[in-house]
Structure 1
Amino acid sequence: MKLLLAEDDTILADALTANLKGCGFEVEVAENGAVAEYLLLKHDFDLGVLDLGLPLVDGLTVLKKVRAAKPALPMMVLTAWDGMEQRVAGLNAGADDYLTKPFDFPELEARIRALLRRAHGATAAAVPQQAGLLRFDREARRASIDKTPLDLSPREWTLLDLLLTQRDKVVTKEQIVQGWTGDTSEQTPGAIEVYIHRLRRKLEGSKVSIRTVRGLGYLLETET
């Protein structure tokens, strides 16, 4: 996945670039709004991460122009402004998500992956996925193993959807928490392990397994 990071704070930009590349993303950096606007409009990116306080051309102006030209491009806004008016302005200008500085990198990564999943799902939702004997149909909201329906709770469904979307990539616990919305009472590391255990049992016989990558997260694998 190729990201455009528009950030004029060189120390922060370097740190974010290093972390994002470490997570497997390809990153191009724009140090001002004029460069960010040009790159986003002229080149192909999977997502833009845009600081609103950019020099030369402000982030809101860039966001409005990019949204008008590329309505499907996911855009994440970063800003040091924490007022309600600024947040509303960013969202009204076309931001898909909003993160206030300072923030922890795992949260940024989780939000980026959530936006990419959403964008990917919007184009691929109509195409059922097949892994081993598992068939996963997002549009019909049905899953089956060798034509036998799979009974999944809402959280198990979301978890399996995330693992399939990120197939062959490690899914972190932070990403799972980000994917679960609503009640947060079960969004603890222990609860995630319980749901992973339940899902593993339900996937038995599917030739699909969930491997724990110690210290990182979980990986969906298809048995050969």
Structure 2
Amino acid sequence: MRILLVEDNLDLADSVVQHLRRTGNAVDHEADGLNALRFLEHERYDLVLLDIGLPRMDGLSLLAELRRRGDATPVLMLTERSDIEDRINALDVGADDYIGKPFDFRELAARCRALTRRRQAQAQTSSLVRIGPMLMDNAARRLRFGDRTIDLPNREYSLLEILVGRLGQVVSKAEITNRLFALSEEAGSNTVELYVARLRKKLPQQFLRIVTVRGTGYLAETLRDCAQAQPSGGAHE
């Protein structure tokens, strides 16, 4: 998942970023509240981790402004363990959950997963996506074809989620890059192609394939869809 951490304690921020990246997430960090608000006008995230005490704009004001402009991105507030009023205010303003400092990184990761599952459940009644013989369990991040389980690393599973979420439609390379990688990560021009190639090798080609649309991006299609009209914007490979 793509996460924005807004935290002015740089030592804590570095530890959180490193931990979440090790579990396969794309994480960006911003230490200034006002900068973070401006940043969120142009970038889309699956989750925001938001501290309350921030320079120039505190976390509660930032959250209130996000909700005022209709941004429903899940927000997990980082609060001091003793500040009960801050927790209550955060929930009243529109926070989805909070965690008190100091926190265990395992609990933080679990709360992040719970919030994203909750949002997926609101978007669809189940975290299970079935397409013919393929079953994606997005909560467990597990892929099955018939009675066979296919093990995918986090980023390859995320790539499959992106493509299957727009089955039969072209997803641009730029969108895939933005959703797979943090802005601070080195994602070269061939990085997306590398992940696509890895994923292709693991998918049963007799049912699902990933098609390159030259100059545009990629699309996932099942064999029963292959005979349909080709999308505009480039030629299939």
* TM value normalised by structure 2: 0.57
Query: Is the 8 Å Cα contact of residues 17 and 27 (structure 1) preserved in structure 2?
Result: yes
Q: Which residue number corresponds to residue 13 of structure 1?
A: 13
Q: Which residue number corresponds to residue 121 of structure 2?
A: 121
Query: Is the 8 Å Cα contact of residues 67 and 94 (structure 2) preserved in structure 1?
Result: yes
Q: Give the CA deviation at 1:208.
A: 4.5
Query: Is the 8 Å Cα contact of residues 8 and 54 (structure 2) preserved in structure 1?
Result: yes
Q: Give the CA deviation at 1:134.
A: 7.6
Amino acid aligned to 1:42: H
Q: Which residue number corresponds to residue 144 of structure 1?
A: none
Q: Which residue number corresponds to residue 217 of structure 1?
A: none
Q: Secondary structure at the match of 1:100?
A: strand
Change (3 A) 1:123 1:15: same
Q: Which residue number corresponds to residue 68 of structure 1?
A: 68
Structure 2: unaligned runs, 5 residues or longer: 152-201, 205-237
Q: Which residue number corresponds to residue 184 of structure 1?
A: none
Q: Which residue number corresponds to residue 47 of structure 2?
A: 47
In structure 1, what is the Cα distance between the partners aligned to 2:57 and 2:82? 20
Q: Give the CA deviation at 1:41.
A: 2.5
Query: Is the 8 Å Cα contact of residues 5 and 48 (structure 1) preserved in structure 2?
Result: yes
Q: Secondary structure at the match of 1:41?
A: coil
In structure 1, what is the Cα distance between the partners aligned to 2:149 and 2:128? 19
Query: Is the 8 Å Cα contact of residues 64 and 93 (structure 1) preserved in structure 2?
Result: yes
Q: Which residue number corresponds to residue 97 of structure 2?
A: 97
Say yes or no: does 1:207 pair with 2:136.
no
In structure 2, what is the Cα distance between the partners aligned to 1:110 and 1:90? 20
Amino acid aligned to 2:105: F
Query: Is the 8 Å Cα contact of residues 132 and 207 (structure 1) preserved in structure 2?
Result: no
Q: Secondary structure at the match of 2:95?
A: coil
- The structure with higher relative contact order (CA 8 Å, sep 6+) is 2
1:1-224 aligned at under 5 Å gives the runs: 1-125=1-125, 129-130=129-130, 133=133, 162-163=139-140, 166-168=141-143, 207-209=147-149
Amino acid aligned to 1:98: Y
In structure 1, what is the Cα distance between the partners aligned to 2:148 and 2:130? 10
**Cα deviation digits, residues 138-188 of structure 1 (max 9, x gap):** xxxxxxxxxxxxxxxxxxxxxx7732xx225xxxxxxxxxxxxxxxxxxxx
Amino acid aligned to 1:16: V
Q: Secondary structure at the match of 2:37?
A: helix
- RMSD over aligned CA atoms reads 3.0
Percent identity of paired positions between Structure 1 and Structure 2: 36
Query: Is the 8 Å Cα contact of residues 127 and 139 (structure 2) preserved in structure 1?
Result: no
In structure 1, what is the Cα distance between the partners aligned to 2:26 and 2:64? 24
* TM value normalised by structure 1: 0.60
**Cα deviation digits, residues 1-32 of structure 1 (max 9, x gap):** 21110000000111111111111111111111
